[in-house]
């Protein structure tokens, strides 16, 4: 059960991994400035970083800031497989001290009242919701102009999302850690959440996306067909995947935990 006092607080989780593109780290630093500028200070901040075989974090010296408890969690996959965003998000949710968790991709921006609006919207939709319904795509290598699109028209549907921790693990099944590399892991979770909630609520807000990993100069990864097959399986066997995810212990900081499915 959730304590009444926790309803106005949340754990903010940012998944991150290093790349060779300096713009990625610049985007992350801009996001941290956004968070520190928030009028609402009722949050715990957790950064979960996949070191990708390195021995040292990109963010040494994280400490308590403005009354929040900041944590830096670093992990290394012993098999050195590609980045697994689902794995490190599950680790962050598992480590959260609050029942409300808010996951933010490391390349977005928002106004200084955003957290207040998220917590207000959570009073109406306490289980799970998207933190935006429009996305502003800033100019990048893939496109020289600013683009504004409704959320449902964007194939990459990460951004920000809110969840109740109990719902996340005990009903939704958490994020599916079978995904390595780029793409589809968010869609896997959305399909399961939509199945359980009969659609996913979206907060009326234009989120800004400042970094695009979609151009060859960024070293963008093409979508692995195996990941698309995995997502398609979840869409067609949603209940089965939910039950299998609920039966295992996700968020193991030593290695990703996989489920067996029929593909």
Q: Mention every residue, 6+ apart, whose C-beta is less than 8 A from residue 78.
A: 254, 255
Place of tokens 């995904």: 179
Question: Does residue 252 fall inside a structural domain?
Answer: no
The total domain count for the chain is 1
pLDDT score of 215: 57
**Distance of alpha carbon 95 from alpha carbon 248, whole angstroms:** 17
**Distance of alpha carbon 256 from alpha carbon 253, whole angstroms:** 8
pLDDT score of 73: 93
Condensed to tens digits (0 to 9), the pLDDT of residues 25-61 reads: 888 989 999 999 999 988 999 999 999 888 888 776 6
What CATH number does the domain containing 188 carry? 3.90.550.10
**Nearest-5° angle of CA 198, CA 186, CA 92?**
105
Question: Does residue 46 fall inside a structural domain?
Answer: yes
**Distance of alpha carbon 257 from alpha carbon 251, whole angstroms:** 8
Q: How many CB atoms lie within 10 A of CB 30?
A: 16
Phi/psi of residue 98, nearest 5 degrees:
-100, 160
Question: Does residue 255 fall inside a structural domain?
Answer: no
Alpha helices in 43-169 (DSSP H): 85-95, 114-124, 165-167
Question: Does residue 130 fall inside a structural domain?
Answer: yes
List the chain residues with pLDDT less than 50: 1-5, 64, 66-67, 154-155
Question: Does residue 253 fall inside a structural domain?
Answer: no
Question: Does residue 39 fall inside a structural domain?
Answer: yes
Q: What range defines the domain where residue 152 resides?
A: 4-247
pLDDT score of 26: 86
List, in sequence order, every beta strand (DSSP E) within the chain: 10-17, 43-50, 70-75, 100-104, 108-109, 128-130, 134-137, 147-150, 160-164, 206-209
For residue 74 the two structure tokens come to 């670093």
pLDDT score of 217: 57
Q: Which of 144, 259, 135 is nearest to 209 (CA)?
A: 135
Task: Report yes or no: 108 and 208 within 8 Å, Cβ to Cβ.
Answer: yes
pLDDT score of 188: 94
Q: Mention every residue, 6+ apart, whose C-beta is less than 8 A from residue 104.
A: 12, 13, 14, 31, 131, 159, 160
pLDDT score of 46: 95
Mean pLDDT taken over the chain: 86
Question: Does residue 65 fall inside a structural domain?
Answer: yes
**Distance of alpha carbon 44 from alpha carbon 257, whole angstroms:** 26
Question: Does residue 263 fall inside a structural domain?
Answer: no
């Amino acid at each position: 059960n959730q304590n009444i006092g926790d309803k106005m607080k949340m754990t903010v989780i940012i998944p991150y991994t290093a790349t060779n593109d300096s713009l990625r780290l610049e985007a992350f630093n801009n996001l941290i400035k956004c968070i520190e500028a928030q009028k609402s200070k009722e949050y715990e901040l957790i950064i979960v970083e996949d070191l990708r075989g390195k021995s040292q974090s990109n963010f040494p010296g994280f400490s308590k800031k403005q009354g929040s408890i900041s944590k830096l969690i670093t992990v290394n996959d012993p098999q050195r497989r590609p980045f697994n965003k689902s794995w490190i998000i599950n680790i962050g949710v598992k480590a959260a001290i609050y029942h409300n968790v808010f996951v933010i991709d490391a390349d977005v921006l928002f106004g200084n009242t955003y957290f207040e609006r998220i917590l207000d919207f959570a009073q109406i939709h306490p289980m799970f919701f998207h933190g935006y319904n429009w996305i502003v795509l800033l100019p990048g290598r893939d496109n020289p102009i600013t683009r504004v699109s409704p959320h449902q028209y964007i194939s990459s549907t990460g951004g920000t999302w809110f969840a109740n921790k109990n719902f996340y693990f005990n009903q939704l099944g958490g994020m599916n850690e079978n995904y390595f590399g780029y793409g589809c892991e968010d869609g896997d979770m959305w399909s399961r959440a939509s199945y359980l909630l009969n659609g996913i609520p979206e907060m009326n807000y234009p989120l800004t996306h400042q970094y695009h990993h979609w151009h060859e100069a960024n070293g963008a990864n093409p979508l692995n067909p195996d990941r698309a097959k995995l997502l398609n399986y979840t869409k067609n066997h949603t209940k089965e995947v939910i039950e299998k995810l609920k039966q295992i212990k996700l968020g193991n900081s030593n290695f990703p935990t996989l489920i067996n499915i029929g593909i």
